[in-house]
Chain A
Amino acid sequence: MIRIYRVALREYMENAKTKGFWIGILLFPLMIWLMLEVPRFLEEKGIPTRHVIIVANDDVAGDISRQRLTLLNRQKSLSSLQQHLAKETADQRAEMLENTEFDAAELLEKLEEGLSQISPDAGAINPFNPEQLVEIGDLVPDEMLLNDFRWKALKNLLISQLPEGSAAFVEPELRFKEVSLPSDLTSESTNEEIENALRPYLRGEKLFPSTDENVDLFALVIIPENVFDGENQIRFWSTNLADTDLLDAITSSLSEHARNLEYEKREISTSDVTEIAALRIRSNNFNPNKEAGEEKVGIRDKIRQYAPIGFVYLLWIAIFSVAQMLLNNTIEEKSNRIIEVLLSSVTTNELLLGKVFGVAAVGVTMQLAWIGSMITILRLKAGPGAEWVVDLMAAVISPELLIGFIFYFVTGYLFYAFLFAGIGSVCNTIKDAQNFMGPIMLILMVPLGTMMFIPNDPNGTIATAMSWIPPWSPFIMMNRMAANPPMSDIVGTGVMMIVSVIMVFWISSRVFRVGVLRTGQPPKILELLGWLRSSNS
């Protein structure tokens, strides 16, 4: 035992000293941080005010379009005010959360209830996006925002909520700003004249002289007469084809108006239409596997079903990162002929176990560092909300589930680790090893592909069949664990995995014993079989 420990310890220390190890550990939090910061940065720096010329040959349509732009501007202002408020009150809320004892399970139920009230389609709301929960602003009706007086009142109300000593709110730049036609053009000019005159500005060749400054002209929108009849089309001029927000806003607001006109013409009340459109058939999902009275399927179950994907990923990454280390180390020892000295001191089994455990410890360290840094960054960046998510996760993942994950993680890891060590022992160079690695990588790709659809049918034929194939069993079973697979599957595959791990270990130690002392060409398959049969070579 002490020898296994010492081999493992050396393996661990040597790997921990490599640059790759530290780069791996540090790169991950850096990536997470960038993933959080870059969108925020882009949003802040973000899209500059878009300057737009609207030529409306229909007054009503012009008003509706302009109203929609005002709405978008006010929504942006509101959301930035909310963010400001959230930031300034973060400490207060954290304090409040700390002082309130809350039961995660109860909270989850409330959340579920709340979501089904907020939105007819609860599935569309991601319960783990704290922003979605904070942004009650989304629920402010458009009429309120469009009413200048009420908008001002709302803003003042929100600003008055800022705690004392907080920074003043800075109004963000407008999303869209309408600029008027140059003086030599009037709305009487033909479309062609306007378009030709504005072409250089739209192309970005010249800055457009607006009243107070010269600006980039983003788009020209020409709304034709009789647009609501559907005869004429809106002419939208812009070099930017990617940003369709403006066009979408205008077309959708005009379409809405056109529909309303049509309702009136056919003498249908618009309020009836809204009411009818809001009709939804609700459903409740029940799971016959659950106890009587608890069959209702909620978000909790959905999360339970999808949470295993995280574990499948974790196992996959663990195997992948460890494979390279095990191969490199074994091949180094072999090509350096260190192996002979080692084998005069330890048995092949001790060496094999020591290596696998040592490298496993490296992998676990890395993953713990990743999880730790992820939680730290989330806490720093997302505030107490992240903790809340962790609590919710903890409430969802029961101890039985966790034990299952750990079991399949360990057996899956060992299965592949022994396999890679065995392969390393018959190869003299990484290049030799790559020939063997190809097929194994292909096998490893399969669970990655299936992990997304297994939760849809966790106890289906494919999932059940794949559970019984040892290289895939740990991945698939992790995936299925939450869906209460039959006990026979759990026990059966569990025993099968233990037996397979022992077998792979046995085969690898045989191959290892012969392979590590062998030089030259990697052996042929038939030769390998011969090694397994001979107990002594």
Chain B
Amino acid sequence: MATAIELKNVVKRFGEFNAVDDVSFSVEEGTICGFLGPNGAGKTTSIRMILDILRPTSGSISILGEKNASLVRDRIGYLPEEKGLYKKMTAAGIIAYFATLKGMPKKEARSIARELLQKYGLGSFMDHKCEALSKGMGQKVQVLASIAHSPDLVILDEPFSGLDPVNQEVMEEVIRDLKSQGKTVLFSTHVMSHAERICEDIVVIAAGKLAFNGTVQQAKAILPRRVRVGGESIEKVIPSLDGIVSCTPVQDGREGVLELIVEETTDSRNLLKSFFDAGVALDIFEVVKPDLHEIFVHLVGEDAREAAHR
């Protein structure tokens, strides 16, 4: 499979500040890649560099096989983080305009614009001026504007922010539709649940540095396997069991519940059996499935908090 985006040792410096610091990652064609990171981690700067809106201080970027996004800009769709529309243009007009800027013939652009608005539930607002649309509707219009010219690569910067749950689902649907058409999607977010639901690959950056690049499965493997147990005089039994790395009380406020970090090789069924064998009356036995949220906090927690205090 070919590579849609590849960054090699990319650095972007604003004065003394390294907004992006030696970041390398790649996105395969036809995949949905989540671009995750806390606020101020350098996501938007990276995206702008990928799109050739900003130029990197050093390092190289290749996009759709070219060195520079301006050579393939007609094949790219982009939704920036801060969304805005021409207030005086109609919803259909603005989508058509952006599509024509991407080289689509005018007539085709107009009919595509109407088609898309119809498909994603804005049919009755087609000829409304953008200033009359609600924020969420405006955002949808903008998303549609970024994909109207049927780009091979779609880059969405925070597509979910500001949308209500129903529209967040519509947004997820849009992204899945794009994948089913064989498009590549890179989207940034800091809401992990979306990434977990729709991404295959994720890139995590924190404080300008790459923290992780791989599949969601691989990301989940970063966190150690954990089991939560609770029961009478359970503490006494634990040291005698094999395959347990550490044991701490849980942080969620439940009393008498312990979180065990177990070795990779430990089978949870065997662990349960050994508890029975030791004659412990178990109240609780949970195998913790790590979600992206935890992985995210694990990967960037320190940096994010630091950044928040900066």
Decide if A345 touches B98 in the complex (CB within 8 Å).
Answer: yes
Let me know if A346 is at the binding interface, CB within 8 A: yes
Interface set, chain B 102-117, CB cutoff 8 A to A: 102-103
By a CB distance below 8 angstroms, the chain A residues around B83 are: 337
Let me know if A528 is at the binding interface, CB within 8 A: no
Contact A346/B101 with A336-B85, A337-B83, A340-B82 known, Cβ cut-off 8 Å: yes
By a CB distance below 8 angstroms, the chain A residues around B80 are: 337, 340-341, 344
Let me know if B67 is at the binding interface, CB within 8 A: no
A517 to B76, CA, bound (A): 19
Let me know if A524 is at the binding interface, CB within 8 A: no
Decide if A537 touches B97 in the complex (CB within 8 Å).
Answer: no
- A3-11, A59-67, A504-512 - the one binding chain B: A3-11
- B47-55, B240-248, B300-308 - the one binding chain A: B47-55
Decide if A345 touches B101 in the complex (CB within 8 Å).
Answer: yes
Least CB distance, A123 to chain B, in whole angstroms: 53
Interface set, chain A 298-355, CB cutoff 8 A to B: 332-333, 335-338, 340-347
Best-buried of B56, B80, B87 by chain A (most CB within 10 Å): B80
Q: Per-residue CB proximity of B23-56 to A under 8 Å, as 1/0?
A: 0000000000000000000000000100101111
Let me know if B228 is at the binding interface, CB within 8 A: no
Let me know if A240 is at the binding interface, CB within 8 A: no
By a CB distance below 8 angstroms, the chain B residues around A338 are: 84-86
Name the contact of A536 in the complex, choosing from B57, B70, B82, B89 (C-beta under 8 A): B57
Closest chain B residue to A346, Cβ basis: B101
Decide if B101 touches A3 in the complex (CB within 8 Å).
Answer: yes
Let me know if B146 is at the binding interface, CB within 8 A: yes
Contact A345/B102 with A10-B97, A340-B80, A340-B82 known, Cβ cut-off 8 Å: yes
Q: How many A-B residue pairs have CB under 8 A?
A: 67
A20 to B55, CA, bound (A): 39
By a CB distance below 8 angstroms, the chain B residues around A14 are: 86, 88-89
Closest chain A residue to B157, Cβ basis: A340
By a CB distance below 8 angstroms, the chain A residues around B57 are: 536
Let me know if B73 is at the binding interface, CB within 8 A: yes
Decide if B78 touches A341 in the complex (CB within 8 Å).
Answer: yes
Decide if B86 touches A345 in the complex (CB within 8 Å).
Answer: no
Decide if B100 touches A341 in the complex (CB within 8 Å).
Answer: no
A115 to B142, CA, bound (A): 70
Best-buried of A6, A14, A332, A338 by chain B (most CB within 10 Å): A338
Let me know if A280 is at the binding interface, CB within 8 A: no
Decide if B102 touches A340 in the complex (CB within 8 Å).
Answer: no
Decide if A344 touches B100 in the complex (CB within 8 Å).
Answer: no
Least CB distance, B85 to chain A, in whole angstroms: 7
Closest chain A residue to B86, Cβ basis: A338
Decide if B86 touches A332 in the complex (CB within 8 Å).
Answer: yes
Decide if A336 touches B101 in the complex (CB within 8 Å).
Answer: no
Let me know if B145 is at the binding interface, CB within 8 A: yes
Name the contact of B53 in the complex, choosing from A3, A10, A517, A535 (C-beta under 8 A): A517
Name the contact of B55 in the complex, choosing from A341, A517, A536 (C-beta under 8 A): A536
Q: Per-residue CB proximity of A509-537 to B under 8 Å, as 1/0?
A: 00000000100000000000000000111
Decide if A340 touches B86 in the complex (CB within 8 Å).
Answer: no
A185 to B7, CA, bound (A): 111
Interface set, chain B 133-155, CB cutoff 8 A to A: 142, 145-146
By a CB distance below 8 angstroms, the chain B residues around A341 are: 78-80, 98, 142, 145-146
Least CB distance, B44 to chain A, in whole angstroms: 9
A342 to B85, CA, bound (A): 11
By a CB distance below 8 angstroms, the chain A residues around B48 are: 340, 517
Interface set, chain B 246-265, CB cutoff 8 A to A: none
A347 to B14, CA, bound (A): 22
Q: Per-residue CB proximity of B64-81 to A under 8 Å, as 1/0?
A: 000001100100101110
By a CB distance below 8 angstroms, the chain A residues around B70 are: 347
Decide if A336 touches B87 in the complex (CB within 8 Å).
Answer: yes
Let me know if A2 is at the binding interface, CB within 8 A: yes
Closest chain A residue to B130, Cβ basis: A336
By a CB distance below 8 angstroms, the chain A residues around B146 are: 341
Least CB distance, B161 to chain A, in whole angstroms: 13
By a CB distance below 8 angstroms, the chain B residues around A3 are: 101
By a CB distance below 8 angstroms, the chain A residues around B51 are: 343-344
Let me know if A265 is at the binding interface, CB within 8 A: no
A341 to B145, CA, bound (A): 9
Best-buried of A10, A17, A335 by chain B (most CB within 10 Å): A10
Decide if B55 touches A537 in the complex (CB within 8 Å).
Answer: yes
Closest chain A residue to B102, Cβ basis: A345
Q: Per-residue CB proximity of A415-450 to B under 8 Å, as 1/0?
A: 000000000000000000000000000000000000
By a CB distance below 8 angstroms, the chain B residues around A333 are: 86
By a CB distance below 8 angstroms, the chain B residues around A343 are: 51, 53
By a CB distance below 8 angstroms, the chain B residues around A347 are: 70
Best-buried of B57, B87, B97 by chain A (most CB within 10 Å): B97
By a CB distance below 8 angstroms, the chain B residues around A335 are: 84
Closest chain A residue to B145, Cβ basis: A341
Decide if B100 touches A6 in the complex (CB within 8 Å).
Answer: yes
Least CB distance, B242 to chain A, in whole angstroms: 56
Closest chain B residue to A516, Cβ basis: B53
A3 to B85, CA, bound (A): 19
By a CB distance below 8 angstroms, the chain A residues around B55 are: 535-537
Interface set, chain A 370-394, CB cutoff 8 A to B: none
A332 to B103, CA, bound (A): 24
A336 to B138, CA, bound (A): 12
Least CB distance, B159 to chain A, in whole angstroms: 13
Least CB distance, B58 to chain A, in whole angstroms: 10
By a CB distance below 8 angstroms, the chain B residues around A6 are: 97, 100-101
A360 to B70, CA, bound (A): 27
Least CB distance, B52 to chain A, in whole angstroms: 8
By a CB distance below 8 angstroms, the chain B residues around A337 are: 80, 82-84
Decide if B53 touches A344 in the complex (CB within 8 Å).
Answer: yes
Least CB distance, A352 to chain B, in whole angstroms: 14
By a CB distance below 8 angstroms, the chain A residues around B102 are: 345
By a CB distance below 8 angstroms, the chain A residues around B98 are: 341, 345
A342 to B142, CA, bound (A): 12
Closest chain B residue to A338, Cβ basis: B84
A17 to B93, CA, bound (A): 13
Closest chain A residue to B103, Cβ basis: A2
Q: Per-residue CB proximity of A5-47 to B under 8 Å, as 1/0?
A: 0110010001001100000000000000000000000000000
Closest chain B residue to A2, Cβ basis: B103
23 A-B residue pairs with Cβ-Cβ distance under 8 Å, sorted by A, are: A3-B101, A6-B97, A6-B100, A6-B101, A7-B101, A18-B88, A332-B87, A333-B86, A336-B87, A337-B82, A338-B84, A340-B78, A340-B80, A340-B82, A341-B78, A341-B79, A341-B98, A341-B146, A343-B53, A344-B53, A345-B73, A347-B70, A536-B55
Give the top 8 A-B pairs by smallest Cβ distance, nearest first. A336-B84, A536-B55, A340-B80, A337-B82, A344-B78, A337-B84, A345-B101, A338-B84
Chain A interface (Cβ < 8 Å from any Cβ of B): 2-3, 6-7, 10, 14, 17-18, 332-333, 335-338, 340-347, 517, 535-537
